[in-house]
Amino acid sequence: MEQLATNMCFGGEHRRYRHRSDVLYCDMEFAVFLPPVALGSGARQVPVLYWLSGLTCTDQNFMQKAGAQKLAAELGMAIVCPDTSPRGLDLPGEDDSYDFGSGAGFYLNATREPWSRHYRMYDYVVTELPSLLERELPVTDQRGVSGHSMGGHGALICALKNPGRYRSVSAFAPIANPSECPWGQKAFSGYLGGDREQWAEWDATLLIPGAKERLPLLVDQGTSDQFLEEQLAPDALADACEKAHHPIELRMHRGYDHSYFFIASFIDDHLRHHGRALGLV
């Protein structure tokens, strides 16, 4: 881990790192916020919220715009923000569009060439990055996972596919049923091919019926989100949860859009949701 930057923030530290990923076969950058109790002479290990960002984002968007550090510092919670895809691989078409390739890894493991060697963001965020951080930084293996849009999709599937690995899960405006929306269909076709049975392995709405753990879902959605009708499908997720008796709190917020203004408005609710599950509240 090469430390790229450090900023003091609410008595804690925001840090950026670069490391060589053995899963993605490239260098990756990520950000970490460490609360005050994880620093200094009396430092102790703290639980972690993994935040997965949306299309076009890097590790920096959430850390700079969401306003999460103040409450995280008070709770004693670390926050980890990975990037959203591998970068700079010179794969054909990787930089041609905002919703596929660079900045659009979709938190799955690609099976189709030329993406299958590098685009394995699921293995990266679920296994490789936590293992690295739990070895190198003062963080425990008590984890929550959250995210926005594509990252909300990522948070949901990471929790649903890994019973016992996360203590809590939440999402802002997730791509909840990607098999049935343009963003998801483009990504799944490109990374996985045309077999819709493979797609179902990466679709939260389709994973809910067979989930082996009924971890409560907190989902926030703005009613003025420009992507709500065509891309996000929170009602499909809620319907699947109702049929499977999977606990979900879907909160619709009048007038809010898809931006970080929306996330900043409700991030404290999510931090407390995770804090309760992680024993911090």
The number of beta carbons lying within 10 Å of the beta carbon of residue 8 is 10
Torsion of CA 45, 26, 83, 232, to 10 degrees: -120
Known catalytic membership, residue 258: yes
| Chain centroid offset of residue 12 CA | 22
Which CA distances in Å does 183 have to 24, 141, 177, 204, 249? Answer: 22, 32, 10, 15, 24
pLDDT of residue 228: 98
- Residue 69, CB-side half-sphere exposure with 13 Å CA sphere: 20
Q: Which CA distances in Å does 35 have to 49, 78, 87, 125?
A: 12, 6, 29, 21
pLDDT at 78: 98
Dump pLDDT digits (tens) for 192-230: 999 999 999 999 999 999 999 999 999 999 999 999 999
What is the C-alpha to C-alpha distance for residues 167 and 144, in angstroms, rounded to an integer?
5
Does 41 have pLDDT greater than 90?
no
CA proximity to 152, closest of 228, 77, 243: 228
3-class SS of residue 73: helix
Helix (H, G, I), strand (E, B) or coil at 179: helix
Give the per-residue pLDDT at 93: 93
Distance separating alpha carbons of residues 252 and 224, to the nearest angstrom: 10
Residue 28 has pLDDT above 90, yes or no: yes
Q: Chain-wide mean pLDDT for the chain? A: 97
Catalytic residue among 258, 270, 273, 274: 258
First to last CA, the chain: 31
The one-letter amino acid at 169: V
Tens of pLDDT along 51-64? 999 999 999 999 99
State pLDDT tens for residues 128-154.
999 999 999 999 999 999 999 999 999
Residue 270 catalytic? no
* Single pTM value for the model: 0.97
216-267 tens-digit pLDDT = 999 999 999 999 999 999 999 999 999 999 999 999 999 999 999 999 999 9
Residue 203: strand, helix, or coil = coil
Taking domain 2-277, whether its CATH number is 3.50.50.60 is answered by no
What the block records as the tokens of 243 is 């049929």
Residue 1 has pLDDT above 90, yes or no: yes
Q: Is 225 tagged catalytic?
A: yes
Predicted pLDDT of residue 281: 87
Q: Out of 85, 225, 273, 274, which one is annotated catalytic? A: 225
- Among candidate residues 53, 102, 149, 170, the one labeled active-site is 149
User: What are residue 18's DSSP bridge partners?
Assistant: 2, 29
Question: What's the pLDDT score for residue 7?
Answer: 98
